[in-house]
Structure 1
Amino acid sequence: MPRRTATLLASTLMLIALLCAGVLIPVPYAEMSPGPTVNTLGDHDNEPVLQISGHPTYPEHGQPTGHLNMTTVRVTGPDYTMNLFEAFAGWLDHDATVVPHKTLYPEGQTAEQADQENAEEFSQSQESAKAAALGQLHIPVGSQTVVASVVKDKPADGLLHAGDVIKAVDGKQIKAAGDVAKLVTRHKPGEKTVFTVIPAKVAAATEKKGKKPAGGQKQIAITTAKADDGRAVVGIQAGVDHIFPFPIDIKLADVGGPSAGLMFALGIVDKLTPGNMTGGKFVAGTGTIDDKGNVGPIGGISMKTVGARDNGAQFFLTPKANCAAAAKDTPKGLTLVKVGTIGDAVKALKKISSGDTAGLPSCSPAGRS
C-alpha cells in the first residue's frame, strides 16, 4: 500500500476513533439555556396565573394589562449524561452555558430529591410573594405555627403531619415556632407530651376561604425520644405559615425554584391596585423575595435576560446582586433596572409607565459606576 494511502487511512481511522470517543465519553457537565417567560398578569394554559377573590382587582375587564413576565432557565436533568461533543457545542453557543454538573445538582442528589427541592422552593416563594405584596400595600397578614416537616421513624411520624397547625403543647398556647421545642424539651425522654393541633386538611380548607383556622382541634399524645444530645424530642420541625385576609392563588405548573418571587409579588400588587403599573410596557424580571420584600440573587441571569429579550421585553428588573454579571452581556434593546426591594421595583415601574426612564437605576459591569 502506498505510503500516502496508508497515512490517509490512518488519519481517517483516527478521526473516526475521536468522533466515537466524543460521542461515547461522558463528561460531568450540565447545560443551561433560556427558558420560556410567563406574564404574571395574564393567562397560562387557559387560566389566569394570579387568581384573587374576596378583594377588588384591577384592571377591569377589557382594559390593557401590559406585561410583568417571570423568566425561567432550561437545564438538563440530574440524570442526563452529557458527552464531549455536546459540551463543546454548549461552550460555543452564545445563548447557552455549560457548567459543572455538581453546580446544579449536589453529589448524591437523586432526580426525585431535586424535583422535590425545586417544588418546595417554588411553593415557599409564592407564599413570600403574597406576604411581600400585601406588605407593600399595607394590608395586614397574620401568621401561625405549623408542622413544617416530620422526621421519618421518630415518635411524631404518623401522628403529626406537615401543615398541621400547632395551637398548644401540654395546654400552653404556642405564640411562636420556637415555643414548640422549648415546651417539648421540658420533658425527659420517654415522657409523654400532648399536642393540640388543627389537622392540615382542615386548616387548608379554612384558609382557602380567607379565614383563620379555629375549629377542628385534636389533642395528640406523643411519647418523646432521646436526641443525640440527651434532649427530649418528638421528631418535627416547627415553622411559620401565613394567614392571608383573602384567597390568592398562583396557578403555574412545571416551574420550580424560588426566582419568580419578585414578579409574582409585583403581579399581585398590580392586580390589587387601580390603574396599570406598567403603562402597557413589556417588563420582565427575576429575583427571590422574602416576606419583608427584600429581593435576592438568582442563578442563570444571562439566560434569563436573553429569554426576556427574545420574548419582547423592553425592561428587565434585575436583583442588585446580579447586576454586574447581567451587565457584562446585556442583550441589545433590553434595559436592565437594578432593584433591591419590592419598593424599588414599584418605583421603577412608575417611571417606566410614565415614560420618565432617564432616572432608572441601571446595572453596570463590575468596576464601573
Structure 2
Amino acid sequence: MTQRTLAALLAVPLFVALGIYTAVTPLPFVTYSPGPTINVLGDNDGKPIIEVQGHPTYRDDGELRMTTVSVTQRNARLDLLTLLRTWFSRDRAIYPYAIQYGGGGSQQQDTQEGQVEMIGSQDSAIAAALRQLGYQVNPVLEILSVTPTMPADGKLEVRDVIKRFNGTKVTAATDLGKLIHDVPAGDTVPMTVERKGKPVTVRITPTTKDGTRLIGVTLGIGYTFPFKVSVHISDSIGGPSAGLMFALSIYDTLTPGSLTSGGAVAGTGTISAAGGRVGEIGGIQQKIVGARQDGAQLFLVPPANCPDALTSDHGSMRLAKAATLKDAIAEVTAWGKNHDAALPQCTASDKAKH
C-alpha cells in the first residue's frame, strides 16, 4: 500500500466525521416561521378581545387580524440540516442569532420584555384610536412590569398609575428614578398608585443593585381615558407589532357599522399614541404568509416594511401601504366598499428609498 493510498483511506473517515459534526453542531442562527393570526374583533376565552365599559359598542361582521411570527427561542439548538431545510422553505427565514437576541439575557427576560412591549402597544393603540375619534387623552406614568423578589413584588401591579412617591406628586414627566435614588438606604417610604380607578398606598423600601437604587418595576407612559377600554390577548404573545390592528379594532368597536364591510383584513405595525403613525416591525414576510393562509383578503403594510413585503408570497391577497391610523381607516373603508378600489401600494420606489 502506497503512502498516498494510506492517506486517502485515513482521510475518508475524517471527512465523514467532519461532515457529521458540521451537520449536527448547533449554529448561531434563529428561524422565523408564520405564526397564528388572531381576529381582534373576536373573543379570547369567552371574553371580547376588545372590551369597552362606559361607551356604546358595535359588534358586527368582518375580521381585523393581528399577525404573529414564530421565532426559535434563545436556547434552541439549530444544526446545519435544520437550517438547510429552512433555507429552502419559501415561507420561513433565517437570521443571525445576535440580531434577535444580542449578547446576554434569558428566556424569562425575553418573555418579560415582550409583555412590556405588548402592554405599551395596547395603551398606545387605545390612545391613538380615541384621539382619532376626538377624545381627550392624557399621559400618565404607569407600571408595565414588576420584577419578582424585588421590593415592589406583591405590593405594586402591572398598570398601576403612579400618583405620589414619598410625598412628591408624580406625573408623566417625573423622573421617578431620581426620586427613588434620593431615598436614604434602608428607609421605607409611602407610594400611592391608582389601581382600577381607586387610590392604593403602599410602603416600599428601595434596594441597591450595582450601585443603583431600585424598587423593581419597569415604567412606561400610559394614558387616562374618558372611559375604559381593555385588550384581552394571550400572555404567550408579546411585542409591539400588533399596535395598528389593535387601534383599528378599537375604532371599529366604537363606531357603527363594519369597518371592513364584512371582509377579512390583516396587518401589522407599531402605533404611536400621538398622530397614530405606523412603525416598522420584524418578520413581515412570515406575517403575510400567515395572513394569506388564514384567509385574509387585504394586508396593511407599514411603509418601512415595503421592501420585504414586495417579495412576499401573498398570492391573491392585496397589500396596502398604511402610514397612519387615519390612512388605514380610509383604506380599509374603501376596500370594504369595493375590493378593487385604488389603495396606496408598496412600489419599486419604496424599495429604492429604503
> Judging changes above 3 Å, is the alpha-carbon distance between structure 1 residues 47 and 85 closer, same or farther for their aligned structure 2 residues?
same
Q: Does 1:243 align with 2:224?
A: yes
List runs of 5+ in structure 1 lacking aligned partners.
207-211
Please name the residue that 1:49 is paired with. Answer: 49
2:108 pairs with 109, 112, 118, which one?
A: 112
What is the CA distance between 1:171 and its match in structure 2?
3.9
C-alpha distance 131-92 of structure 1, shift in aligned 2 (>3 A): same
> Which amino acid letter does the alignment assign opposite residue 246 of structure 1?
F
1:295-351 per-position Cα deviation (integer Å, ceiling 9, x unaligned): 111001111111111111111100011012211335221211111111110011111
Report which of the two structures shows the higher radius of gyration computed on alpha carbons. 1
How far does residue 290 in structure 1 lie from its aligned partner after superposition?
A: 2.1
User: Which position in structure 1 is the counterpart of 2:258?
Assistant: 276
Counterparts of 2:183 and 2:73 in 1: how far apart (Å)? Answer: 46
- The 1:360–1:213 alpha-carbon spacing in structure 2 relative to 1, beyond 3 Å, is same
Structure 1 residues 27 and 178: CA distance shift in structure 2, 3 A: same
Q: 1:265 to 1:84 in 2, by over 3 A?
A: same
| Partner secondary structure for residue 56 of structure 1 | coil
Corresponding residue of 2:35: 35
The number of equivalent residue pairs is 344
| Separation of aligned partners in 1, 2:105 and 2:288 | 29
CA distance in structure 1 between the partners assigned to 2:78 and 2:129 by the alignment: 41
Identity of counterpart residues, as a percentage?
Answer: 38
Matched AA of 1:52: V
2:180 touches 2:206 (CA, 8 Å); kept in 1?
A: no
Q: Does 1:287 align with 2:275?
A: no
Equivalent position amino acid for 2:112 in 1? Q
| Aligned equivalents of 1:45, 1:184: Cα separation in 2 | 39
TM-aligned CA deviation for residue 48 of structure 1: 2.8
Q: Distance in 1 between matches of 2:30 and 2:208?
A: 43
Residues 124-168 of structure 1, C-alpha deviation per residue, up to 9 Å, x if partnerless? 2112111111111122334433456778999x6679745554333
Paired position in structure 2 for 1:213: 198
Q: Which moved more, 1:291-300 or 1:357-366?
A: 357-366
Q: Does 1:79 align with 2:75?
A: yes
Task: Return 49-58 or 262-271, whichever deviates more.
Answer: 49-58
- CA gap of 1:114–1:191, structure 2 versus 1, over 3 A, is closer
Q: Structure 1's 240 and 30: CA in aligned 2 closer, same or farther, altered over 3 A?
A: closer
Structure 2 portions without partners, runs of 5+: none
Give the 5 Å matches for 1:51-66: 51-59=51-59, 63=60, 65-66=61-62
1: distance between equivalents of 2:148 and 2:51? 35
Q: Find the counterpart in structure 2 of residue 315 from structure 1.
A: 298
Report if the CA contact (8 A) 2:40-2:249 is conserved: yes
Partner in structure 1 of residue 24 of structure 2: 24
Residue 322 of structure 1 aligns to which amino acid in structure 2? N
Deviations 1:5-30 (A, max 9, x none): x9xx9999678646633542221111
Distance apart, 1:195 and its partner CA: 4.3
Question: Match for 2:256: what amino acid?
Answer: P
Alignment partners' CA distance in 2, 1:33 and 1:271: 31
Q: In 2, are the aligned partners of 1:190 and 1:226 still within 8 Å (CA)?
A: no
SS in 1 for 2:239: coil
Per-residue deviation, 1:31: 0.8
Q: Higher mean Cα deviation, 124-133 or 164-173? A: 164-173
Partner amino acid for 2:280? P
Change (3 A) 1:76 1:49: same
Sort the Cα spacing of 1:84 and 1:223 in 2 relative to 1 into closer, same or farther, 3 A.
Answer: closer
Question: Could you tell me how far apart the structure 2 residues matched to 1:179 and 1:333 are?
Answer: 51
Q: Distance in 2 between matches of 1:322 and 1:145?
A: 31
| Conserved? CA contact 2:30–2:95, under 8 Å | yes
Partner SS state of residue 367, structure 1? helix
Q: What TM-score comes out, normalization by structure 1 length?
A: 0.79
2:192 maps to which residue? 197
Mapping 1:64-213, distance limit 5 Å:
65-146=61-142, 161=156, 163=158, 164-169=160-165, 171-178=167-174, 180=176, 195-198=190-193, 203-204=194-195, 206=196, 212-213=197-198
- TM-score, normalised via structure 2 length: 0.82
TM superposition shift of 1:250: 2.1
SS at match of 2:121: helix
For the 8 Å contact 1:189–1:225, the answer to whether it is kept is no
Q: Is 1:345 matched up with 2:328? A: yes
> What amino acid is the match of 1:311?
D
Partner SS state of residue 178, structure 1: coil
Q: Deviations over 1:207-234 (max 9, x none)?
A: xxxxx434x445x486898997xxx966
Q: For residue 90 of structure 1, what is the amino acid of its counterpart?
A: T
Flag the 1:49–1:146 CA change in 2: closer, same or farther, 3 A: closer
